[in-house]
Amino acid sequence: MAKIEKIDVLISSPGRNYVTIKIQTSDGIIGWGDATLNGRELSVASYISDHVAPLLIGLDPDRIEDIWQFLYRSVYWRRGPITMAAIGGIDLALWDIKGKSVNRPVYQLLGGAVREKILAYTHTVGWDLAELKDALDKNLARGFKALRVQSGVPGLDSVYGVSQGKKNYEPASRGASAQLEVWDSGKYLRHVPKIIEGARNHVGDDIELLHDAHHRLTPIQAAQLGKSLEPYGLFWLEDVTPGENQEALKLIRQHSTIPLAIGEVFNTIWDFKDLIINQQLDYVRCSVMHAGGISHTRRIFDLAALYGIKFGPHGPSDVSPITMAASLHVDLATPNLGIQEFMGYPEVVSEVFTHAYSLKDGYLHPGDASGLGVDYNEKVAAKFPYAPAYLPYARTFDGTVTDW
Ligand code: KDG
Ligand code: MG
């Protein structure tokens, strides 16, 4: 029996911070896991190196499920983003090891491919409609068949997903404190239907469009938004209200048939259970790492499948290519995939994380390298030390803190 011999937690910052787990086994295999939690990287790193790694030394890396149960159930204090990102990161590294130990890509260990390729959507941002149309054309030329659309709002200086003058959305800014953004839901609600209408007219009916409201609306505002966007045939409308009040989605359902996606801030099957069995959502949106890794997210997706609900894993640039690869292995092998988010990474990230996954004509594939198919180049990573960075936060015009 092989044993877990050494666990290192490595933090690097090729443009943004990533927490990478390196597990070495007694038979010489290295497994890579990602445990990045945007803006709280050091907490997850400490959770793993101080409290998890010492418990795992000497255990059998093949017993992925048993280790998962041990990390989840043997701790009295369960759930939460830090704990679950830590468990998720370890789970990813163990699946990587298992794949490498039998020389197979992880999707083969999950039952094999149920599709040839994975439909991806990417982010399309423009401060105004003219800029947005330009950005849509660029992403269509790259081959994407599905595009998330975010725009500026007149009267606001910055809006989730897009900043004036900046081409790319990368919200966490380096520095010791979070940047303030001023928000007004009324202005947003009156403007966004015009943008989505403009985007639909521009791309025609063959392209899927998505939009993320990023948890900012009250239930009735969210219902209004769903109703007003219905004519434009969105693939989904994401995170219309803050995740805590699950009842809100019932009210939205009473007024709109727009497909709802929710869950990037959820991290266990328990967070999704009522939403799924009450059919209050259409797409489960958790990250394959933040929700406890491959072992746990597969359970969530299977529960969703019982109710005809699909999944669309979270895939922003603030989870590393290791999580992206893990998502793709799950996507390829799980029947009820809806779509995969693929924000993409700046070039420098690919110098640190070399990967077997590929993107072609708007579709992704995890590749056939053994394990997850991502390697972490420690030498290159060492050139990019951790730098504190935080997501912005929001206040309304009267100075009240509101949801970002
Ligand atoms: O760290 C926060 C991001 O992961 C989040 O803002 C991205 O909402 C997001 C999305 O849909 O990708
Ligand atoms: Mg989102």
Nearest ligand to the C-alpha atom of residue 391:
1
Query: Are 118 and 24 contained in the same domain?
Result: no
> For residues 361 and 144, is the Cβ–Cβ distance under 8 A?
no
**Ligand 1 neighbours by CB, cut-off 6 Å:** 38, 212, 214, 238, 264, 314, 316, 318, 341, 391
Query: Measuring CA to CA, which residue among 188, 181, 126 is closest to residue 153?
Result: 188
**Pairwise CA distance, residues 271 & 25, whole Å:** 34
Along the 404 residues of the chain, how does pLDDT read in single tens digits? 999 999 999 999 999 999 999 999 999 999 999 999 999 999 999 999 999 999 999 999 999 999 999 999 999 999 999 999 999 999 999 999 999 999 999 999 999 999 999 999 999 999 999 999 999 999 999 999 999 999 999 999 989 988 777 666 678 889 888 999 999 999 999 999 999 999 999 999 999 999 999 999 999 999 999 999 999 999 999 999 999 999 999 999 999 999 999 999 999 999 999 999 999 999 999 999 999 999 999 999 999 999 999 999 999 999 999 999 999 999 999 999 999 999 999 999 999 999 999 999 999 999 999 999 999 999 999 999 999 999 999 999 999 999 99
Query: Are 100 and 116 contained in the same domain?
Result: no
pTM as predicted: 0.97
Query: Are 223 and 356 contained in the same domain?
Result: yes
Count of all residues that appear for the chain in the document:
404
Structural domain including 357 reads 109-368
Query: Are 114 and 34 contained in the same domain?
Result: no
Query: Are 223 and 364 contained in the same domain?
Result: yes
Q: What is the CATH number of the domain that holds 78?
A: 3.30.390.10
- Using the structure block, give the residue that is written with the tokens 């290519």: 321
**Strand spans (E) along 177-312:** 180-182, 208-212, 236-238, 260-262, 283-284, 310-311
C-alpha of residue 275 to centroid of ligand 1, in Å:
20
Which pLDDT does position 171 carry in this prediction? Answer: 80
Bridge partners of residue 174, in order along the sequence = 389
Which pLDDT does position 167 carry in this prediction? Answer: 61
Q: What is the CATH number of the domain that holds 124?
A: 3.20.20.120
Nearest ligand to the C-alpha atom of residue 37:
1
Those residues whose C-beta lies under 8 Å from the C-beta of residue 347, and which sit 6 or more positions away, are none
Which pLDDT does position 176 carry in this prediction? Answer: 85
> For residues 47 and 77, is the Cβ–Cβ distance under 8 A?
no
CA-38 nearest atom, ligand 1: 1
Those residues whose C-beta lies under 8 Å from the C-beta of residue 198, and which sit 6 or more positions away, are 129, 132, 133
Query: Are 71 and 186 contained in the same domain?
Result: no
Which pLDDT does position 170 carry in this prediction? Answer: 74
Q: Annotated active-site positions, please?
A: 160, 214
> What is the CA 167 to chain-centroid distance, rounded?
21
> How many structural domains is the chain composed of?
2
